[in-house]
A = this chain, B = another copy of it.
């Protein structure tokens, strides 16, 4: 998986354990796509200081995942949901349309949790 995508998934799980400062810089860089120089300029610090903070923050996030494995568990879950969706989809022709609609809604609800 793309490293950038991976750390944003970890942030979704463990961001709540970061400090406000760590969250702010992480979001500027990974979610709002600002450059290190732009982030540094906005906070009056050097590009290098921003880079160091980001490195420590992503290290923290990967450490949390190493200890808890909750993002990996969630990925396995989504794989199972895909399998289940395919299994249900294979039965669409024998299902009443309303029943399929209900199942499809529940699958969407699960994916959005």
Interfacial residues, chain A to chain B (CB-CB below 8 A) = 13-14, 16-17, 64, 67-70, 73, 76-77, 80-81, 83-84, 87-88, 90-91, 94-96, 99, 102-103, 106-107, 109-110, 113
* A/B interface sample: 6 pairs, CB < 8 A: A16-B67, A80-B109, A80-B110, A84-B106, A84-B110, A94-B96
A contact face: mostly helix, strand, loop, or mixed? helix
For this chain, the copies found in one complex come to 2
The residues of B that contact A81 with a CB separation of less than 8 Å are 110
Which of A16, A64, A107 neighbours the largest number of chain B CB atoms within 10 Å of its CB?
A: A16
Top 3 A-B pairs ranked by shortest CB distance? Answer: A16-B67, A16-B68, A84-B106
